[in-house]
C-alpha cells in the first residue's frame, strides 16, 4: 500500500490550492476527487483582493488574470452600489471575474506541475485514524494510507460526516436561481422592471446575469432548468424577458453552517467542508483559498518535522473565527435584502452611513478579507495583519514569496534569520516602504513580528518556525 504524507479529498479550488502549497515544501500529496470529470457548467466566480494577493505571492496571478475580467471593487456588501474607497493599500484592488472551471483547472495544473498526484473517480467511503496516520477507504474497497488527511470535499463533505464533526447552523429557508443567458427583451424594458428581489444585469452582447428567487427549497444537487427561470421571472416580473440560450444555470440556498472543529487528530477540514453560507458578497471560494494558504505551510511543517508543538492548532484558532465573521456578515446581508419595512429601513440607513469613507472601507475590507487580523498578542496594529505588496529596491514584495517560505524584511540590515535560514529568507532593504525597522512574514504573508532586536526576533522565529533544520 502506498503511503502519502497528505491525502486531500476534493479537487476544487481549496483542495488544488492546498496541494500546491504542500508541494512547495516537498510534501508527498495525493488528491482524491469523486467526480470522474471536472464540472461542465460555466459559473462565473469572483476573486477578491486578498485572494488575488495570495495568488500574486505564489506567482500565479498573471496567468490566472489572462482568463478573467477585471471589474471595479465596490458594491460588495448587500449589493449596495458604492464605489470602493480611495487609496486601498493593494495594487490588486479590483474584482476578477473568472469561470469556475477555469480557476479549478489552472490551480489543478499548478499543483500537478509541482508534483501533486490527482486521482479522479475516487469516492471516499471510510476512514480510520491511529497514532501514526489515517487509512482511507475508497468505493470498491481499495485503501490508501496517509500521515494526514484533509477534507476539502464541499458542503456535503464525506470526510466531515465520517469524522463525526458537528455542522451546526441554520438550514436553507429560501433558494435562489442564478445563471447567465440571453434575453430578447429590449434593455430599457429589462432595466425598468428589475428590483432588488430579482435582477438581470448585462454581462455581454445580449447576455445577462439572471438572479431570481426559486419556487421553493429543493435538492441543490439537481441544477435548475431554463423553464424554472422563465416561470419565476414570470411570477415576479410578469414576463420572462424572452430568456434563452443559457450559458450555465445553478441554484443556491441560504443555509449557514460552521464546523464545530477544523481538526480531529490527523484529519482536518477546509473550504466548504468547514463552512457554508449564502453567496452574498461572493466570499465562499475566496474563504476556501485563504484556508488553504493558511493551512498549507503549517501542515507541511508538521510533516517535515520542524513545526512547533502548537503550530497546527493555530489553523483552527485563526480560521474558525474568520469563517464565523463571514457567516455573520452574510446573515446581515441576507436581512438587508429582505423586502420587509424593517430591513429596508436599516438598509436605507446603511446606504447613508456608507457615504462615510471609514464605513465604506470597513465593509469592503471585511468582505474582501484584507481587514483580517490574527491574534498574535499585543503589538502595533500591523502585527497579525497581511503585509501589502510594497515596493522594494528591486521589484515588489510578493515576488519574494513565490516559494512559500517565511521572509525577514530588514530595513536596518543588522538582523539575521540565523539557524532558521532553511525556512526563512532574508532581505535587507533600507529603501523598503515600511514605517518600522523590520518585519518577519509568515509564508501566508501575515506579519508575525515587528522590531529591531535580534533576541526578540529569535524568540519569534522559534515560535513560528520551530526547530531549525539542516
Mapped onto helix, strand or coil, the DSSP state of residue 448 is strand
pLDDT band at 253 (very low <50, low <70, confident <90, very high): confident
pLDDT at 197 over 80: no
Name the grid cell of 436.
518600522
Report the pLDDT averaged over residues 110-116.
98
Statement to judge: residues 232 and 268 lie in one domain:
no
Q: Is residue 363 part of a domain?
A: no
Nearest to 461 by CA among 411, 408, 398: 408
Which of 336, 352, 378 is the C-terminal boundary of a domain? 336
- For residues 299 and 218, state if they share a domain: no
Q: Identify whether residues 126 and 275 lie together within a single domain.
A: yes
Mean pLDDT of 7-22: 98
Q: What contacts 277, CB < 8 A, 6 or more positions away?
A: 255, 256, 257, 283, 284, 326, 327, 330, 331
Indicate whether 43 and 150 sit together in one domain: yes
Q: Are residues 297 and 204 in the same domain?
A: no
pLDDT-derived band of residue 254, with 50, 70 and 90 as boundaries?
confident
What is the mean pLDDT of the segment spanning 211-236? 86
Place of cell 517535515: 304
Q: What is the mean pLDDT of residues 99-111?
A: 94
Domain check: are 34 and 117 in the same one? yes
Please check whether residue 355 lies inside any domain of the structure. Answer: no
Average pLDDT value over all residues in the chain: 93
What is the predicted pLDDT for the residue at 99? 87
Does 445 lie in the same domain as 302? no
The continuous run of DSSP H or E covering 68 comes out as none
- Is the domain of 204 the same as that of 266? no
Same domain, 114 and 67: yes
pLDDT interval class at 219 (50, 70, 90): low
Across the range 3-14, mean pLDDT stands at 97
What pLDDT does residue 175 have? Answer: 87
Q: Is the pLDDT of residue 213 over 80?
A: yes
Task: Supply the pLDDT for residue 44.
Answer: 74
CATH number at residue 240: 3.30.70.2450
> Do 308 and 159 share a domain, yes or no?
yes
Question: Is residue 388 in a domain?
Answer: no
List, for residues 332-386, the tens digit of each pLDDT value.
998 888 878 999 999 999 999 999 999 999 999 999 999 999 999 999 999 999 9
pLDDT band at 40 (very low <50, low <70, confident <90, very high): low
In this model, does residue 42 exceed pLDDT 70?
no
**Residues 75 and 179 grouped into a single domain:** no
Model pLDDT for residues 136-168, shown as the tens digit of each residue: 999 999 999 999 999 999 999 999 999 999 999
What element of type H or E holds 67?
none
In a domain, 224, yes or no: yes
Domain C-terminal end among 285, 311, 336: 336
**In sequence order, what are the residues at sequence separation of 6 or more whose Cβ sits closer than 8 angstroms to the Cβ of residue 37?**
120
Residue-number span of the structural domain to which 236 is assigned? 175-253
In tens, the pLDDT along 383-403 reads 999 999 999 998 999 999 999
Assess if residue 312 is contained within a domain: yes
Select from 336, 360, 385 the last residue of a domain.
Answer: 336
The C-alpha cell at 204 is 455581454
**DSSP character string of 185-249:** S-HHHHHHH--SSSEEEEEETTEEEEEEE-SS---TTSPP-HHHHHHHHHHHHSS-TTEEEEEEE
In a domain, 7, yes or no: yes
Residues 237, 303 share a domain: no
Residue 359 domain-assigned (yes or no): no
pLDDT given for residue 220 in this prediction: 59
Is the pLDDT assigned to residue 41 strictly greater than 70? no
CATH number at residue 446: 3.40.30.120
Query: pLDDT tens for residues 304-319?
Result: 999 999 999 999 999 9
Residue 30: CATH number of its domain: 3.50.50.60
Q: What is the pLDDT of residues 400-420, one digit of tens each?
A: 999 999 999 999 999 999 999
pLDDT at 218 > cutoff 80: no
* Count: domains in the chain: 3
d(CA 284, CA 271): 8
Per residue in 81-93, pLDDT tens? 888 888 889 999 9
Looking at the domain assignment, is residue 379 inside a domain? no
Amino acid at each position: 500500500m502506498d503511503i502519502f504524507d497528505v491525502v486531500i479529498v476534493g479537487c476544487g479550488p481549496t483542495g488544488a490550492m492546498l496541494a500546491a502549497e504542500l508541494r512547495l515544501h516537498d510534501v508527498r500529496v495525493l488528491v482524491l476527487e469523486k467526480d470522474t470529470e471536472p464540472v461542465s457548467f460555466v459559473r462565473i466566480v469572483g476573486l477578491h483582493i486578498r485572494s488575488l494577493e495570495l495568488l500574486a505571492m505564489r506567482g500565479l496571478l498573471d496567468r490566472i488574470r489572462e482568463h478573467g475580467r477585471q471589474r471595479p471593487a465596490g458594491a460588495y456588501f448587500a449589493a449596495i452600489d458604492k464605489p470602493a474607497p480611495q487609496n486601498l493599500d493593494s495594487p490588486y484592488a479590483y474584482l476578477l471575474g473568472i469561470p469556475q472551471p477555469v480557476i479549478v483547472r489552472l490551480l489543478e495544473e499548478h499543483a500537478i506541475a509541482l508534483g501533486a498526484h490527482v486521482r479522479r473517480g475516487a469516492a471516499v467511503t471510510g476512514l480510520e485514524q491511529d497514532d501514526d496516520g489515517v487509512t482511507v477507504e475508497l468505493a470498491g474497497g481499495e485503501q490508501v494510507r496517509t500521515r494526514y488527511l484533509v477534507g476539502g470535499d464541499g458542503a456535503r463533505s464525506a470526510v466531515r460526516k465520517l469524522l463525526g464533526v458537528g455542522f451546526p447552523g441554520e438550514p436553507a429557508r429560501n433558494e435562489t436561481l442564478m445563471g447567465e443567458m440571453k434575453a430578447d427583451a429590449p434593455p430599457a424594458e429589462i432595466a425598468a422592471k428589475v428590483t432588488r428581489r430579482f435582477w438581470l444585469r448585462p454581462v455581454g452582447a445580449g447576455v445577462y446575469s439572471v438572479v431570481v428567487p426559486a419556487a421553493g427549497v429543493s435538492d441543490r444537487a439537481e441544477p435548475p432548468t431554463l423553464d424554472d427561470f422563465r416561470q419565476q421571472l414570470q411570477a415576479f416580473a410578469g414576463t420572462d424577458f424572452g430568456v434563452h440560450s443559457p450559458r450555465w444555470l445553478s441554484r443556491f440556498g441560504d443555509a449557514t453552517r460552521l464546523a464545530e472543529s477544523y481538526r480531529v487528530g490527523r484529519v482536518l477540514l477546509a473550504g466548504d467542508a468547514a463552512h457554508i453560507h449564502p453567496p452574498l458578497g461572493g466570499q465562499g471560494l475566496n474563504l476556501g483559498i485563504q484556508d488553504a494558504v493558511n493551512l498549507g505551510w503549517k501542515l507541511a511543517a508538521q510533516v517535515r518535522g520542524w513545526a512547533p508543538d502548537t503550530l497546527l492548532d493555530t489553523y483552527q484558532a485563526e480560521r474558525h473565527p474568520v469563517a464565523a465573521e463571514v457567516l455573520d456578515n452574510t446573515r446581515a446581508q441576507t436581512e438587508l435584502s429582505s423586502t420587509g419595512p424593517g430591513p429596508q429601513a436599516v438598509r436605507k440607513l446603511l446606504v447613508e452611513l456608507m457615504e462615510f469613507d471609514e464605513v465604506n472601507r470597513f465593509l469592503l475590507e471585511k468582505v474582501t478579507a484584507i481587514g483580517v487580523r490574527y491574534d498574535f498578542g499585543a503589538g502595533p496594529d500591523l502585527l497579525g495583519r497581511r503585509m501589502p505588496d510594497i515596493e522594494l529596491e528591486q521589484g515588489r514584495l510578493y515576488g519574494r514569496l513565490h516559494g512559500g517560505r517565511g521572509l525577514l524584511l530588514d530595513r536596518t540590515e543588522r538582523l539575521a534569520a540565523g539557524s532558521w535560514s532553511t525556512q526563512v529568507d532574508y532581505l535587507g532593504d533600507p529603501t523598503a516602504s515600511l514605517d518600522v525597522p523590520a518585519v518577519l512574514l509568515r509564508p501566508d504573508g501575515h506579519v508575525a513580528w515587528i522590531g529591531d532586536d535580534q533576541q526578540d526576533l529569535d524568540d519569534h522565529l522559534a515560535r513560528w518556525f520551530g526547530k531549525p533544520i539542516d
